């Protein structure tokens, strides 16, 4: 095994385990926060499990370009000036009207991303009870 292949095993195993625990079903909308190695592996595993649409967010445009080159057209460059409500609204806009994220995989570890991921999920639950 080459070092390059070995380096990819850890992100893929993290993503695989998370997707197996979350169990996205066919056509379930998913958000992946972070387009680094773990985030991209997460998006690939979620797509393989049938999740659709898969939206990937990140702070860096070059990481989102990598995601698009892998076939993920729904990407969102996060602006740190947005509050959690604006972030949630922009994620929903990328997902399309009426499509709400049901699973959020947070792959950055950044406090602002964790907060936004929780808020996006919470808004989805709150809309169900309106």
- CATH for 20: 3.40.50.720
Domain count, the chain: 1
- Six-digit token string for 28: 């379930």
pLDDT score, position 65? 98
pLDDT score, position 128? 46
118's CB contacts (< 8 A; 6+ apart) are: 104
Give the residue numbers spanning the domain of 78: 3-128
pLDDT score, position 129? 41
pLDDT tens, the chain, 130 aa long: 899 888 889 999 999 999 999 999 999 999 999 999 999 999 999 999 999 999 999 999 999 999 999 999 999 999 999 888 888 888 888 988 667 888 999 998 777 777 777 777 665 555 544 4
Number of CB atoms found within 10 A of residue 116's CB: 27
């Amino acid at each position: 095994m080459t070092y390059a292949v070995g380096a990819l095993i850890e992100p893929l195993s993290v993503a695989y385990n998370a997707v197996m625990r979350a169990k996205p079903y066919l056509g379930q909308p998913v958000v992946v926060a972070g387009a680094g190695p773990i985030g991209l592996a997460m998006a690939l595993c979620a797509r393989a499990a049938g999740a659709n649409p898969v939206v990937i967010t990140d702070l860096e445009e070059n990481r989102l370009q990598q995601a698009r080159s892998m076939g993920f057209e729904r990407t969102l460059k996060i602006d740190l000036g947005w509050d959690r409500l604006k972030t949630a609204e922009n994620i929903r806009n990328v997902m399309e009207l009426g499509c709400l994220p049901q699973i959020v995989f947070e792959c950055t570890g950044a406090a602002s991303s964790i907060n936004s991921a929780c808020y996006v999920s919470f808004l989805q639950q709150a809309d169900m009870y309106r």
